[in-house]
Structure 1
Amino acid sequence: MTDRTELVAVVRPDGTVALWTEAAERLWGTPAEEALRRPVGGLLSGADVPVPPGTPGASAEWSGPVELRRHDGGSGSGSGGKVHLRVSPLPVGESGGDWQVWEAGPVQPSGAWPDPAMLRTLYGHAPQGVIVWDRELRCYWKNGAVDGMGLLVDGPHLGRRVEELFVPGRPESLEIALRRVLDGASPSSNLEWVVPDATGRGERVLSLSLLRLDAPDSRAPGVCLIAVDVSETAVWQRRNLLLEAGTRIGTTLDVMTTAQEMADAAVPAVADYVTVDLADTFTPDDEPLDRLEATDTRIPAFYRAAAASVRPDLPESLWPRGEPVYVPPQSPFTAVLLSGAPHFEPLLDTSPGGWLDKDPDRARVIHATGMHSLMVVPLRVCGTLLGVAVFVRTTNPVPFARADLALAQDLAARTAVSLDHASRYRREHTAALALQRDLLPHRLRGGVAVEVASRYLPADPRSGVGGDWYDVFPLSGDRVGLVVGDVVGHGIHAAATMGRIRTAVHTLTNLELSPDVLLARLDELVDELERDQLDDGLITTSVGATCVYAVYDPASRRCTMASAGHLPPALVSPGGGVEFADVPTGAPLGVGLGCYESVEVDVAEGSVIALYTDGLVETREESIDRGLDRLRAALTLPRTTLEDLCVEVTDRMTNGQRSDDDIALLLARTRARTGVLARDMSSTKAKPSTKAKHSTDGT
């Protein structure tokens, strides 16, 4: 056994030889070309040492006497004819799983360093830059590849500390990361560090890995930094991130969802913590920011729309989604809000005398979570500032670079466009919903003829507001008119068209027209509406509607019905039987055919007439026929009042979920007028009594 410590071999995780030094050739008598890629077990004579020691059942390190199988057939020399070897993990290298084999004494001196000659053998000609730091974070050794990367300042390097070697003003976060690894934290890899290129006009992107150097005792003697130039790879990664963001951001027309998609896309690819805070244009209508209470040190400036972090519990966020965000009057956030220019702070200044003195809560979170690098990017579209996106690094020790700012601005620009689309849609959707609710009747009166109840459910926000409507009209002789309709399309246009049709029906009922004649007049009106829009250049949406109109006479207990492309009314007998009226389905309104037929059916006292729109019975997963069968079953549910039946039917039909289309349901329970001769009304099956055909010319 020699009195020195010398590297003899490096072994791959699969047990084959990766490096064979001159010392190994001397011990084994085997040249390198014969030993390389050979199983190391074949070079040992009956040894029970597991090589590599990472095999199952082995410890992290191993040290002890070993008998060698020499090339000349002899055995290794030393005490008792054996050589003392030490096997330990290789602290640096590409694979991260190699093992180093030393010829050494039983225990390497505490804190001893690898021989610089060994480091030169391993990494002197490696394409990666390698720097070894001692416990004081002074440069102990480096290879030549580092000098060409622009990572270190000019001048002598050995013996100098981290802050003296790296670009001034930027190494603090890297020094913190090196210290964490040295003190036992997990190795850090793929840390992106940007340096000026050789021309001074561009940038190079380096990927840094930090690995602790282990010693036989528990006290690590130092830490190793490995740098790889990934400039071309980084360009492609940024391009791929933007392409992926284009598919992930703006998948819905919902402001909050769009903002969260942006935050999720940026973590951890760009930052460790990202928020999207929106300005007044996106605030809730009932609580605008200018009405919120401010203090001398903080003002409400944004609403939190999204937050994402590498930490699952979001310890960085002081405000949950949907809550107002308060900032000091003089801060990077208000500066971006006023100027529209981004705020770029690679090293976050937390020293006394800054804006954080006015914001102790935020300062406390910054120190607790290790925030050290900040970007605040405006969300702008067509000159309008929608809000800001905030990017922060905490666990990633590398400060933001100009390339990160450019990437963040690209993400913000894409997000701003999607947010603007979502905001425009939300405003239109809100206006259309308000218009539709204003146009629907607020109180229905069935008079002495019927008891009425109704239910209207707006569509899912993704589909927008439709043109579903219903109404009840008192007629002469205690009769009552019942109508339900559905205008083609969604949004303000459909709601406005619905209002015009409903007004027209109200006017036509005063003329005491039969249902078929009334629908023919409506067909003419809708056709004229479409021609007017074509003359005005409004050709994006086709005007059209379906409608069913019924008149119930309590004296005769008969109901006259006509349909313009609408689903048939359901008739529920007092005993609970359900039939769908056999009403001829005419063309939808606006087609211009104007040919409709009326049918009369006998309706027993206490029966229920149900008129509805297709949103109640039709879904993307289910046919209308299947929906009608479910409606038949729902109408037979036990109930105490007509209002209860309305609620129970809609809940059963929708399973408590929003529909893809608007839903309108109108129920009317019939009454017989006092003094009229009673007749047997036990059957509610539709019986054609008087049929009338009507064309657009009224003949």
Structure 2
Amino acid sequence: MDSRRFPFVDSMAGALLDADAVIVGWTPAAEELLAYRAEQVCGRPVRELLADRDSWPDLLAGYRDGVPWSGETVVRDGRGERLEIVFRVLPMARPASGDDPAHYLALGAPAALVARWRQDHAFTRELFLQDRVGLAVFDEQLRLVRTNTHLLPYSGVPVDLSGHRLADFLRAEDAEAVERHLWDVLRTGSPLVRAEERVRTLDDPRGGVVMAISAFRMQADGGRVIGLTALFNDVTEPHRARIRLELLHRATAAVGGSLSVTGTGEELASVLVPGLADRVVVDIAEAVFSGEEPGPDRDGFLLLRRTSVGDDDGPAGPAPGSPVLARAELAGTAGVDPEAAAAGRGPGELTVPLRARGLPLGRITARRDPGRLGFEPADLDLLREIAGRASLALDNARRYTREHRAAVGLQRSLLPPAEARTAAVTTAGVYLPTDPATGVGGDWFDVIPLSSARVALVAGDVVGHGLQATATMGRLRTAVRTLADLDLDPDELLVHLDDLVSQLVVEADEPDGDEWRARTRVDPVGATCVYAVYDPVSGRCSIAAAGHPPPAVVRPDGGVEYVALNPGPPLGVNGLPFEVTEIEPPQGGLLALYTDGLIEGGDGDLDQGMAELGRRLTDVMAADRPLRDCVRQVVSGLPAHRLADDVTLLLARIHRVPESDTAVWSIPADPAAVGGVRESASRRLREWGLEDLVFTTELVLSELVTNAIRYAGGPVEVRLIRAERLTCEVSDPSATQPRMRRARLTDEGGRGLYLVAQLTTRWGSRYTRHGKTIWAEQDLPAA
């Protein structure tokens, strides 16, 4: 047999035979294998050990020829058991004298063990013949002993690696990373399975390859570590594909989670650097930021805004926010940037468009440094895919921006100015939505000038958030202003407002077959409101509330107390009457109206929230700051995260009209008294320095007093108020409302109220507890 079938000699049984095949020597391994001691077999023919002695002649082939031969046979050991062995007979050289007989060395091993040896040999041989998997044997000092092929599939690796360390031909950081894994295997004995590391040779300028490294420790008999075997598999392409897929997922998640145009651009740049490029510039069309549809100008240019710059070495070129002018076709096509190509930068820079629904939204410019491999087709495909998904996100952000601006504009248009000043109060208000991103809700405040220098202060809260609540708020605010123009008392105004909300509830519950309304139907309409009327002449304030928290009164010394209201139910609940509470707030003090979002804490304890609000109001009063700063200071302590509810706060600083700026006369129901009141009023106007208003005021008073005496009887009260305007009031006990009409040419009368309306800024009438009051206002002359 071929000697290559018997490659191993360790642990093999050995016997020394003479020329007649008699055993003359026996090894300890033979004793162990066949269970015969040397004295039991020495001197006996070897054929006596065979299980089938008739096979002996076949085994003698070549015995006399003096050449080695191999074979297989079955022996019976000292335990009487049959054992199949493979043997090898080696002739021994005769002594030089030639007198000694020939001797032979017979070696044997169990057939199963030899078969396993042959398999191991074949496996090792074939493993080292592989050219797709790098195989390396290291000694205990991590020096290369043997490799099957080049360890890396490109230049920079020595032909003969025997005795080399990895650092001899790999970059130091790469060699250190690989050896760190191998030292762990040597130290612990735990196999290494597919650890991925990037390796680059010292001579090759390219980006290297990614290797999956597996390794196991080798030990000699007795457990002594003699080195390790490592397998290196090039997984560069699968690794790049996985990295690209992960980058795509990260980019999709990043740009898909933002409805901000700027935020989308910034997230896009941060994801692409350094995963895909060393520098990324995102330019977005200027129109996108305002929610408009972008398009080129007459010359074919599209105005872009440099939104974000991602760079490992810091920003370069125009900073974010800088305007960039580009041709529309450049923002709409993918490929190599013409400027980059002209500068010779080649495939290290591409420009990819941002487009959605046919609209050019901007572009992404990505660049790799010269020391890095240029973009491959797969990289460009990835950038196009990311740009496509980012374009959808940008278009969503653009449309959201447009809708958000419209919603915020609607809500802001429904709210009064944050600051106002009248003769009665100086006010400052603030509104904070629950969701700052949408900026819309149903809370509101209002400051409504009334007749005779009075003012109405309002705070309300509509159930829910968003545009539906904003629209309801707008309807209620308009209704309050309309009802306030009728000079109704606070309780009467809330009764009418309650009726309106009840109608809105009925409308919301009525099916009308409108599919859109059915899809967008929200919770039933509900609201709370507090309405206060302050008269700076009397210094009295009348307040009524519908399910709303009570206003707070802050004295000039900083003391705070809440108005002891008996609030009625929320608007639209059951139509119960409302109760009016009258107070006299101190001059120079504050009246605070608010919604429950300001006093609702995380635990919902309203008493604790009202105590905290009182403390803040005391602090701002002690600080003696402008009212707008006071409002900001009160709400500045609210949590920066999402509020539990919308917050509205209206602060009103109380003013009084001095007694010297009012005049009151009571006259009997006698037409002859009209002349006297005209003279008294004219005298008072001259004392006030309002000579320019004397003539007009005499005509107005003559008409109003004469009508009161003629149609209402007496007594009649006349009052002049000098505040922001000059107000003339005539009060009588009649509840009949006057009407202005256009008199015909043949009529002798009917032109009085028409004349009053033409001579004054505005006029009107209001019911009182004892009748009615007709009033007319005139602008004061410029100082």
Cα distance in structure 2, aligned partners of 1:324 and 1:96: 60
Q: Specify the SS of the correspondent of 1:320.
A: coil
Cα distance in structure 2, aligned partners of 1:454 and 1:223: 64
Distance 1:261-1:652 versus aligned 2 partners, 3 A rule: same
Matched, 1:566 2:591: no
Matched, 1:122 2:147: yes
The equivalent of 1:499 in structure 2 is: 474
- Partner amino acid for 1:304? R
Matched, 1:605 2:586: yes
Q: Specify the SS of the correspondent of 1:598.
A: coil
Which of 381, 406, 410 pairs up with 2:385? 410
Deviations 1:319-358 (A, max 9, x none): 222221244x5xxxx5342xx4432x4xx8xxxxx64598
In 2, are the aligned partners of 1:635 and 1:649 still within 8 Å (CA)? Answer: no
Spell out the pairing of 1:290-305 with structure 2 (5 A cutoff): 301-305=303-307
Spell out the pairing of 1:352-371 with structure 2 (5 A cutoff): 355-356=339-340, 363=343
The equivalent of 2:284 in structure 1 is: 278
Deviations 1:119-147 (A, max 9, x none): xx3241x7x6433338xxxxx7599xxxx
In 2, are the aligned partners of 1:130 and 1:142 still within 8 Å (CA)? Answer: no
Q: Specify the SS of the correspondent of 1:597.
A: coil
Mean Cα deviation higher: 464-473 or 563-572 = 464-473
Q: Specify the SS of the correspondent of 2:202.
A: strand
Cα distance in structure 2, aligned partners of 1:96 and 1:526: 87
Distance 1:381-1:646 versus aligned 2 partners, 3 A rule: same
Which of 572, 575, 588 pairs up with 2:557? 575
Which of 295, 305, 308 pairs up with 1:306? 308
Matched, 1:648 2:630: yes
Distance 1:419-1:458 versus aligned 2 partners, 3 A rule: farther
The equivalent of 2:489 in structure 1 is: 514
The equivalent of 1:468 in structure 2 is: 443
Cα distance in structure 2, aligned partners of 1:93 and 1:308: 41
- Partner amino acid for 1:325? V
Q: Specify the SS of the correspondent of 1:211.
A: coil
Cα distance in structure 1, aligned partners of 2:373 and 2:658: 85
Distance 1:422-1:664 versus aligned 2 partners, 3 A rule: farther
Deviations 1:242-269 (A, max 9, x none): 3333433343432211221122122222
Displacement of 1:647: 1.5
Cα distance in structure 2, aligned partners of 1:94 and 1:521: 93
Matched, 1:436 2:411: yes
The equivalent of 1:131 in structure 2 is: 154
Displacement of 1:497: 3.2
Cα distance in structure 2, aligned partners of 1:188 and 1:497: 70
Matched, 1:453 2:447: no
Matched, 1:669 2:654: yes
In 2, are the aligned partners of 1:453 and 1:643 still within 8 Å (CA)? Answer: no
Which of 595, 603, 625 pairs up with 2:576? 595
Displacement of 1:505: 0.6
In 2, are the aligned partners of 1:554 and 1:670 still within 8 Å (CA)? Answer: yes
Cα distance in structure 1, aligned partners of 2:630 and 2:603: 22
The equivalent of 2:319 in structure 1 is: 320
Q: Specify the SS of the correspondent of 2:579.
A: strand
Which of 325, 328, 335 pairs up with 2:329? 335
Mean Cα deviation higher: 260-269 or 632-641 = 632-641
Spell out the pairing of 1:2-41 with structure 2 (5 A cutoff): none
- Partner amino acid for 2:444? W
Distance 1:377-1:122 versus aligned 2 partners, 3 A rule: same
Cα distance in structure 1, aligned partners of 2:556 and 2:289: 51
Cα distance in structure 1, aligned partners of 2:556 and 2:254: 55
Q: Specify the SS of the correspondent of 1:456.
A: strand
**How many residue pairs end up in the alignment?**
470
Matched, 1:380 2:322: no
Cα distance in structure 1, aligned partners of 2:522 and 2:334: 41
Cα distance in structure 2, aligned partners of 1:95 and 1:321: 54
In terms of Rg, which structure is larger? 2
The equivalent of 1:692 in structure 2 is: none
Matched, 1:551 2:544: no
Displacement of 1:483: 0.6
Cα distance in structure 1, aligned partners of 2:262 and 2:469: 26
Displacement of 1:571: 0.9
Displacement of 1:657: 8.2
In 1, are the aligned partners of 2:156 and 2:202 still within 8 Å (CA)? Answer: no
The equivalent of 1:209 in structure 2 is: 199
Q: Which has the higher contact order (CA 8 A, sep 6+)?
A: 1
In 2, are the aligned partners of 1:263 and 1:274 still within 8 Å (CA)? Answer: yes
The equivalent of 2:114 in structure 1 is: none
In 1, are the aligned partners of 2:545 and 2:568 still within 8 Å (CA)? Answer: yes
The equivalent of 2:499 in structure 1 is: 524
- Partner amino acid for 1:486? D
The equivalent of 2:732 in structure 1 is: none
- Partner amino acid for 1:401? E
Cα distance in structure 2, aligned partners of 1:223 and 1:398: 6
Displacement of 1:579: 1.0
The equivalent of 2:75 in structure 1 is: none
Displacement of 1:635: 1.7
Cα distance in structure 1, aligned partners of 2:528 and 2:550: 11
Deviations 1:577-621 (A, max 9, x none): 1012233444443x4433353241422431321112345445669
In 1, are the aligned partners of 2:541 and 2:582 still within 8 Å (CA)? Answer: yes
- CA RMSD, Structure 1 to Structure 2 (Å): 4.7
- Partner amino acid for 1:310? D
Cα distance in structure 1, aligned partners of 2:256 and 2:592: 40
- Partner amino acid for 1:321? P
In 2, are the aligned partners of 1:610 and 1:665 still within 8 Å (CA)? Answer: yes
Cα distance in structure 1, aligned partners of 2:356 and 2:206: 51
Displacement of 1:668: 3.9
Cα distance in structure 1, aligned partners of 2:480 and 2:553: 23
Cα distance in structure 2, aligned partners of 1:284 and 1:240: 32
Q: Specify the SS of the correspondent of 1:435.
A: helix
Which of 363, 367, 374 pairs up with 1:399? 374
In 2, are the aligned partners of 1:559 and 1:603 still within 8 Å (CA)? Answer: yes
Matched, 1:485 2:450: no
Q: Specify the SS of the correspondent of 1:418.
A: helix
Cα distance in structure 1, aligned partners of 2:430 and 2:401: 20
TM-score calculated relative to the size of structure 1: 0.56
Share of identical aligned residues, percent?
A: 34
Cα distance in structure 2, aligned partners of 1:278 and 1:603: 59
Spell out the pairing of 1:171-210 with structure 2 (5 A cutoff): 209-210=199-200
The equivalent of 2:677 in structure 1 is: none
- Partner amino acid for 1:665? L
Distance 1:320-1:614 versus aligned 2 partners, 3 A rule: farther
In 1, are the aligned partners of 2:174 and 2:197 still within 8 Å (CA)? Answer: no
TM-score calculated relative to the size of structure 2: 0.51
Structure with a larger share of its residues in helix: 2
Spell out the pairing of 1:604-623 with structure 2 (5 A cutoff): 604-606=585-587, 607-618=589-600
Distance 1:185-1:374 versus aligned 2 partners, 3 A rule: farther
- Partner amino acid for 2:583? D
Structure 2 unmatched runs, 5+: 1-133, 162-167, 178-195, 212-233, 664-783
Cα distance in structure 1, aligned partners of 2:500 and 2:600: 28
Q: Specify the SS of the correspondent of 2:445.
A: strand
Cα distance in structure 1, aligned partners of 2:613 and 2:397: 35
Displacement of 1:569: 0.7
Q: Specify the SS of the correspondent of 1:506.
A: helix
